Structure 1
Amino acid sequence: MKNILCVGHSACDITYIMDEFPIENRKYKVNETKIMGGGPTGNASYLLGKYGEDVSYITTLGLDAYGVNIVSELESVKVDLKNSILKKEYTTPCSMIITNIKTGSRTILNHRNKNFIPDTYKINYINKPKFILFDGHEIELARRALNEFPEAITILDAGSYKLETVELGAKVDYLICSEDFAREYTEIEEVNKENYLEVFNKMKKLNKKNIIITLGEKGCLYKKNGEIYNYPAFETKAIDTTGAGDIFHGAFVYALSNKFDLMKAIKFSSVCASLSVEKIGGRESIPMLEDIYKRMEKWESIGLKI
């Protein structure tokens, strides 16, 4: 087992690049498409491998063309897949992504079948991981990893609200949740400056350790020395937000692994995500480390206390 373990969802992303959102019952000619691996922890593990971290990834994949391509991509950046489950009877999940480059928005249609984990499955390791990143998918594998490595520092990418994500959210050391997750969990219809404190305090009922709430272009909320802050998003022109959240979470784990303090970890992750939305695609938009540090030098924001 490597220093960092990622557990969760993989998919093949097929991106259609358009300069408008399609209207129902019409035909459109698309000038460009991109096909690459995706999924929250899939993209995060790829980023960590690209940045030279020792990373293992546990997921389920079919031995179809999509699955084979995903394995090849991950192995190209030295992601260890020996504990992943690859089977002919599994179907590799697939996402169709419509990217509107005028607005930077993306619409995702995802198809996946539940891949049942064999009762005989065991995680084989030599050294226990120091960090584990979950994404709320593949819950059976996540439970096994939590039980197997109770001393690891755990992080959850809580992108969507569901029972499995809530279950993990209560157990991890760092709960990093989306605005959508926070809105559904707290039952507050809209997250805004007027209720940031209320939202954060309600989220603490789920996790009493470390919470970061990502708010897209509004930045993120976090707690430092007992005070809650709103860290702003780097102002940039987004052309494709696909994978930006995955990249934020992968960058945050990289920051923890390299002993960044919380403020620097959030800044590093925010800048990494801001660079990614300036390019099309998920994995192809992961920036180089030197570009992250260059942008960090130009950005002095420390966040505003709520």
Structure 2
Amino acid sequence: MNLDVLCIGHAACDLSLFVDSYPLENSKCETHESLEGCGGPAANAAWLLSIWGLRAGFAGLVGDDVYGRRARDELTAAGADVSLLELRSGHVTPLSVILVNRQNGSRTIINRKERAAALRLDAEILRALSPRVLLFDGHELEASLTAMREFPGAVSILDAGSWREGTAALAGKVQFLAASERFALQATGLQSLKDAEERKECLSRLRGQFGTRTIVTLGERGLIYDAGDGFDKHPAFPATAVDTTAAGDIFHGAFAFGLARSMPLREALRFASMAASLSVRRHGGRSSAPALAEVEAALSHVP
């Protein structure tokens, strides 16, 4: 089966706990609200693309344990191809505990991820999938580079959440660097992106360092980007955030959807921004993802 999008990287299971405020160290805190499900940047993107009707696949590494099988089963139920998902015996599936502050929707994540030998893609299976778009989150560098070598004509996107070996190595190789504010500050050495001059300087430095089309997401302050023809920006759609968990993953999945549908860049960014805006208004990770029709309807009501 030829895929529209192949997502390569991190899969995890999530336990979200909703608290009235971030707990103090060496204190006790009670909550009566929690959510359990699966997550991970690339895995969430593959899940979203699949429920939106694209042919999407996920390549990643989990343990052959209850969490790993749950991660596989959620993706399969959504319709995602998991032929490149390895359930490795003796490996422990990543687990994230997420504290969500009810006051402002912010989330603090503690991720258990054991070091393991890198994921190796089965060349025969990979060639058969023949994806048109590749989306990476930097967690499986070797597998990502293999896919880029195998499919040099595919559109490639990096979800760069923070500076790590994988994101640093891939940032200058992909066609679209879609970076978080955190990654942008780490990569450029800037202290903030609060004013227009700092934002222009940020994009200039990123373009100079990596030489690719660059997007930096700024949460409720929207995003900035440079596709090679200078600085541009897109404001965030107004939203009262109750939980920002997976909003970035949903943005990147929706952006990949737009490119797979051959949307112009600005339209794809607008589409992805609306998907993320709708997601922060709900609790949870995947449970916060809007339906495709909901995103399209919301966009039809704004200029």
Q: Does 1:234 align with 2:234?
A: no
Instruction: Provide structure 2 residue ranges, at least 5 long, that are not aligned to the other structure.
Output: none
- Cα pair distance change 1:77/1:15, threshold 3 Å: same
Q: Does 1:267 align with 2:270?
A: yes
Alpha-carbon deviations, 1:216-240, whole Å to 9, x = none?
A: 1111011367231121111110000
Task: Return the TM-score normalized by structure 1.
Answer: 0.94
Instruction: Name the counterpart of 2:184.
Output: 182
Indicate the SS of the match to 1:109.
strand
Where do 4+ consecutive residues of structure 1 move more than 3 Å?
Answer: 117-123
Instruction: Name the counterpart of 1:303.
Output: none
Instruction: Name the counterpart of 1:116.
Output: 117
Instruction: Name the counterpart of 1:163.
Output: 165
5 Å-filtered alignment, 1:45-84, equals: 45-84=46-85
Figure out how many residues of one structure are paired with residues of the other and give that number: 300
Instruction: Provide structure 1 residue ranges, at least 5 long, that are not aligned to the other structure.
Output: 301-306
- Cα pair distance change 1:296/1:26, threshold 3 Å: same
5 Å-filtered alignment, 1:124-135, equals: 124=125, 125-135=127-137
Instruction: Name the counterpart of 2:90.
Output: 89
Indicate the SS of the match to 1:299.
coil
Instruction: Name the counterpart of 1:32.
Output: 33
Comparing 141-150 and 106-115, the one that deviates more: 141-150
How far is the alpha carbon of 1:43 from its aligned partner? Answer: 0.6
How far is the alpha carbon of 1:77 from its aligned partner? Answer: 1.0
**Letter paired with 1:234:** F
Checking the alignment, whether the CA contact within 8 Å between 1:83 and 1:123 is kept in structure 2 is no
How far is the alpha carbon of 1:127 from its aligned partner? Answer: 4.4
Instruction: Name the counterpart of 2:138.
Output: 136
Indicate the SS of the match to 1:82.
strand
Checking the alignment, whether the CA contact within 8 Å between 2:213 and 2:227 is kept in structure 1 is no
Instruction: Name the counterpart of 1:304.
Output: none
**Letter paired with 1:228:** F
Distance 1:214 1:123 in 2: 36
Instruction: Name the counterpart of 2:194.
Output: 192
Distance 1:159 1:123 in 2: 30
**Letter paired with 2:295:** I
Distance 2:35 2:84 in 1: 28
How far is the alpha carbon of 1:119 from its aligned partner? Answer: 6.7
Task: Return the TM-score normalized by structure 2.
Answer: 0.95
Indicate the SS of the match to 1:259.
coil
Equivalent pairs: percent with the same residue? 37
Indicate the SS of the match to 1:83.
strand
**Letter paired with 2:149:** N
